[in-house]
Each structure stands twice: as C-alpha cells, then as structure tokens.
Amino acid sequence: MLRPILSLLGTVFSLITLAVVIVGLSLGAVLHIYGKDLPSHESLANYTPPTISRIYSGEGRIIDEFAQERRLFTPAADIPDLVKQAFISAEDKNFYIHGGYDALGIASALVDAVKSRGRNVRGASTITQQVMKNFLLSGDRQMERKIKEIILATRIEETLSKEKILELYLNEIFLGQNSYGVAAAAQTYFNKNLRDLAPHEAAMLASMPKAPSDYHPVRQKERLLERRNFVLREMWENGYLSQAEYEAERAQPLRSVQNGDFTPFSAELPPRDYFTDEIRRQLSLEFGEGEFFTGGLSVRATIDPDMQVHAARALRRQLEAYDRGQGRWRGTGLKLPPEVLGNEADWGPALAALVVPRDIDLDGPWRPAVVLEPGDQAMRIGIEGIEGVQEVPRKDISWLRGDFNATFAPGDVVHVRAVNDDSGAVSHWSLRQVPEVQGGFMAMDVNTGRVIAMQGGFSYQASVFNRATQAMRQPGSAFKPFVYAAALDSGYSPATIVVDAPIEINTPQGLWRPRNSSNKFYGPTPLRTGIEQSRNLMTIRLAQEVGMDVVAAYAERFGVYERMGQFLANSLGSEETTLYNMVAAYA
C-alpha cells in the first residue's frame, strides 16, 4: 500500500524537478540570447543630458534661450524629497527595495493582459526599467524589449546608486509642453523652482509621465485632476504625507500657467531679436548646431540694453518716415473671415491666433487689430488686448492716397498704436504698417570691438533676415579711406598731389569712363582734399598708382573682404560686403 504512494510521490517530484530544470534552462537561454547583444549600460554613469543654452545680458539677466529639448539639468541632491516622493508614489513605490524590476507588478500586468485577451496591455515598468527604455531601448511594448529592459535594469542596479538612477529619470522624462525633466516642467507649468513646489503641484507633475497629451492641464483638466489626486493618495498611503496634509492638498484647485493662474516664464524674457539670433548663428557655425542647442552653453552678450533700444527706435523711425512718404498702403496681407467679425468673443481669439509681428515698439507698442467697419470720417476696429470697439479718425490717414472705404475692407488685419493726449490718456488709434524698404544698424566699441547694438531690420518677427550681418551691399564711398590708407602706408603724404582729371580704363565690358559726383574735374589736387571731398577720379588714379593688390591686401587685413577682387572699380566700393564687416573695419 505504501509502495504505490511513494512511487507516485517520486514521479511527481521528478516531474516537478524536471519542470524546474526546463524552466531554469529556458530562462537561462532567454537571458543568454537577449542579453548578449544589449547596448552598454556603463555609459549612463557619465551621461550628460541635452540642456538649454542661455544668453545673458551684461547685467546677468537672461535675454534669450535656445534648446531642442527644454531641459534644466538638476543633480539628485538638489531635487527636493517631495518631488522624488511624488514620482516614486506615482510610478514605482517599491523603487528603493527592488533590484531593477518588480516581479509582482509584472505578474499582475500579465494576468490583466490574459483576462482582457490582449486588449488591456499595460506597463509594469519600474523607474529603473523606464530609464533603460528612455536611454538605451525603443519605446514599444514588445515582449522582446521587455526582457531586454529587465536584463539591463538588473545590471544598472549593480552599477549605479538608487539616487543616480532617480537623477537620470527625473532629468530625462518628457512631461509635455516641450519640457524634459522636472525642473523645466516646474517652470513651464508653475513658473517656479523645484524647491517652491507644493505637494499638489509635485503630484501634478508626477501625473504626466504616462502620457502628457492625455493629461493636458486645459484640454484634459478633469482627467488630470483625478490623476493628481490619485498620486496624492499614494503619497499619503506610502507615508510621505500626513492625513491632514493629504486632505488639504487634495482640496487645492488645479492651477497652472496654461490655465492663466501663473505668469509664464517666457513673459519675463524680451522678444527674440536680431542680436541674440546672430549669437545663435555664429556659435552654431563655430561649435555646430547640435552642441549649441543641447550643450547648455552660458553666453554673456556684449549688448548695451539702452543703446539697443535707441538703435531700434532710430532705424524704425527713419524706415517708417520713408515708407509713409510713398503714400501707399500694403498692410499685413492677412484677413479674418466675415463670420467672426460680429462678436468680440469670436474675432478676439481669431486675431490672437494669427502670426503677425508683435515685437514693434515705436512711440508705443504696435498692436494687431482687425477692421470691423470702414467709414467716411472714422474706421471701427477691434484691437488685440483692448476691450470693445475702437476708432481710427480720418485725419490719421492723410498720408495715404484714398479714403477708408477705398483702401480697407472688413476683416483686414492691420497694426495700430495708441496716440495719447497731454494728460497721457488715449485720444485715438493710429494705423501703422511694416515698411517694405528695410535697413540695418550696428554700433561697436572702438576700444574693444564689442558689438553694443545691432538691429537687422524693422521687426525680427516680420523678417529674421539680418541686414546688418547677412545682407551683402556695396559700401560705396565708405570704402575709399582704405585706398588712402594704403597710399599713405606706401609713401604718399597728405600733401602729395594727385591729378583730378578724366581717365579711361579698358575693361572686358568695354571702355569705362568714371566721373566725380559733381561731373567736374579739379586738376592737380592735394591727396587730403581727395578724401575730404570724396573725389572718385582721384581715388581711382591713386589705386592705380599704388596697385590694387596693395589696396586689396589692406581691405582683407581690416576684414572688409575675405578675398577682394583686384579691379579698379572696387576702389570706389563696388564690391559687396556686410554692414558688420564695414563697422568692424572702422572700429
């Protein structure tokens, strides 16, 4: 009787042992197959994530920033425990005790997948596994990737401390709004530093990693609120919050920059302009765009903020004066549809959504506006940021040919600025337009060569092309001093006589007979008079005597040109260069 029972038990034990061996061998084979060609995890120990490059004024104020991924790297020691606890509660409450993967979590996810016949496939990744996925593997949910993830997670747990793994995770994760890492996200959603976050704000950030677009603070506000409160409850259950703190934080409304509860960080920055964009262009050429946009560079600009304001105003004023002298209206070329013009609640958002220049300040800021109704003596308009319907009087367009009805139509998008009376109150609104003719301005310190003001056009938002550094123009008579400098260095003196008389020069295009601007000839003349009066014929004859090779060498030495053409016409400044090169040469 006992023998059959023992035999049965022996058989069962043998089968169990065989099963364990088979499972063990299978598991070993899987680990060997998937573990042999994995990427190296050791590089993570020295990983430096892409971060924002920032440009500072001379006073140390941030005036612009550039980044492909908006990230502010923060060491683990500088990340408050509250933020760490929120993410651990939301993503991996066993983070500090597991060895890289959570077996119970994986088993639970498998059960759910089987029960739903594959329809409910959820992740069971630990924070360590998510680090592996973000840094070394793809983001798909294939079983093969999961196995590799677990293998790498166990390896990295043996290499890095828990705090280092958490540092990698909290600086790498995407949290929506082009924000990567918790520091950038805190600034994006609350305009706060990490140390200033309240528990409900940290919990809101910890709600984002699964799918930031599914928890948008405006479009998915209720869903995000529910997720935030779930994270707060997890923090309480894990002992990170007391019951009183949990209840108080749970009662807090969902507030964010996107909902208009905080001023956005970008509002503290001046609008991007030609100066900072030129810094970007030059550093991208020197270091490469990849390094500039990801290297976390800190750049101290040479700009003088007060002089920059004066430079922009001076250039804009002269360009606008010339444009108004033409007496022609071009406008913005944009138009709102008729169906939105009847109600401010409709035309307001439609106007705000248009891409029009908003960086112009000339005798006051220029605001986008929409024509609602042209009239005989006044035109009714709606202005961005100004409540109600405003008017432009007929006298304001005296510089234009035609009247309101002939020039404008309902829906036309225009620019306006306020005109104030003696008391400072707005008396009426004045129509404005970005000039068609553009220009450039450059100011440089002659002692140091530092650029202290640069304006590359009327409006950066209207045209990013920098006429100060990119536009090739003929310098004309501004080049003549380099010819005379070459002559003085070649033995001529200010008293040397140069004949101011007609000259004929054979060129491949035919006979060239240059003239003075006065169409007169002055005969033998001292060299100093030639430069004082900007005489063309004396300059050409001087360049011919000195040699265009000498003149070209001077121009190249001063940086006017890289390789100047050695033609006599170029002594009069006919070869193109940039305003930047000319100002640098004079400085």
Active site residue: 53, 57, 89, 91, which one? 91
Active site residue: 284, 463, 477, 490, which one? 477
Integer Cα distance of 46 and 385 in angstroms: 49
Report residue 545 as tokens.
């005597």
CA 435 to chain centre: 26
Task: Give the contacts of 272 (CB within 8 A, at least 6 positions apart).
Answer: 64, 359, 460
8 Å CB contact between 432 and 416: yes
CA 184 to chain centre: 14
Contacts by 386-389, CB closer than 8 A, 24 or more apart: 387/344, 388/344, 389/344
Q: Is 291 a catalytic residue?
A: no
Integer Cα distance of 562 and 409 in angstroms: 51
Q: How far is CA 559 from CA 453, 565, 579, 586, in A?
A: 19, 14, 11, 10
Looking at residue 137, the DSSP 8-state letter turns out to be S
Integer Cα distance of 293 and 227 in angstroms: 33
3-class DSSP assignment, residue 567: coil
Q: Is 91 a catalytic residue?
A: yes
3-class DSSP assignment, residue 478: helix
Phi, psi of 362 (to 5 degrees): -140, 105
Report residue 470 as tokens.
């990119």
In degrees, to the nearest 5, what angle opens at C-alpha 508 toward C-alphas 505 and 511?
Answer: 35
Question: How far apart are the two ends of the chain, measured CA to CA in Å?
Answer: 112
Q: Tell me, what amino acid is at 300?
A: R
Catalytic positions, written as ranges: 91, 477
